[in-house]
Amino acid sequence: MQSSITAHPHSAPSIPASSPEEQRTRACQDLARVAALDPEQLPLALAFLSGYRPRTFDTVLEAVQPCDNLGAEGETPDREPFCVTCGAPVGIFLAHGKGYRHYRGLRTAASKPRPYKADHAPVIGWRPAAAAAAG
């Protein structure tokens, strides 16, 4: 009797996306795979992602976070990013790259904030801008 389980399991090959058409095809395939997950698989996939690529997991959760605290006219309150780990303000300084960086200084016309290197990578959270000024 032969075993139906192979000795060397293979994972699905990755699909290189180089042209716009290939990128669209890959995106459609990925969306179809997510849609096909049963209710137990989706939390397991997200839990795996949180351990395998924590920064990607944070980015995904931030991207799909619903807009909360809408004002009376549908306006969102002023919010700013901060580091959840240390409470410092963070921002994107394009001269230093596309990632968030800790910074010091006020964001005014007369003063420029200055990024600095902290002993940890920023973990992004959002808070009301008034709370940041008071804190």
User: How many domains is the chain partitioned into structurally?
Assistant: 2
Question: What does the block give as tokens for 4?
Answer: 């139906």
Q: What's the whole-number mean pLDDT along residues 46-54?
A: 90
Residue 90 and residue 122 in one domain? yes
Whether residue 73 lies inside any domain: the answer is no
The pLDDT of residue 134 is above 50: no
Q: What's the whole-number mean pLDDT along residues 7-30?
A: 70
Q: What are phi and psi of 69, to 5 degrees?
A: 55, 45
Instruction: Compute the distance between CA of residue 98 and CA of residue 85 in angstroms, rounded to an integer.
Output: 20
Provide the residue range defining the domain that includes 97: 79-134
CB-CB contact of 115 with 96 (8 Å): yes
Whether residue 90 lies inside any domain: the answer is yes
CB-CB contact of 129 with 79 (8 Å): yes
Whether residue 60 lies inside any domain: the answer is yes
Whether residue 127 lies inside any domain: the answer is yes
Instruction: Give start and end residues of each alpha helix (H) in 1-135.
Output: 20-36, 41-52, 54-64, 129-134
Instruction: Report pLDDT for 119.
Output: 94
What percentage of the chain carries pLDDT values higher than 90? 21
Whether residue 7 lies inside any domain: the answer is no
Whether residue 119 lies inside any domain: the answer is yes
pLDDT tens-place string over residues 89-127: 999 888 888 899 999 987 676 778 899 999 999 999 989
Q: Which residues are paired to 90 by β-bridges?
A: 102
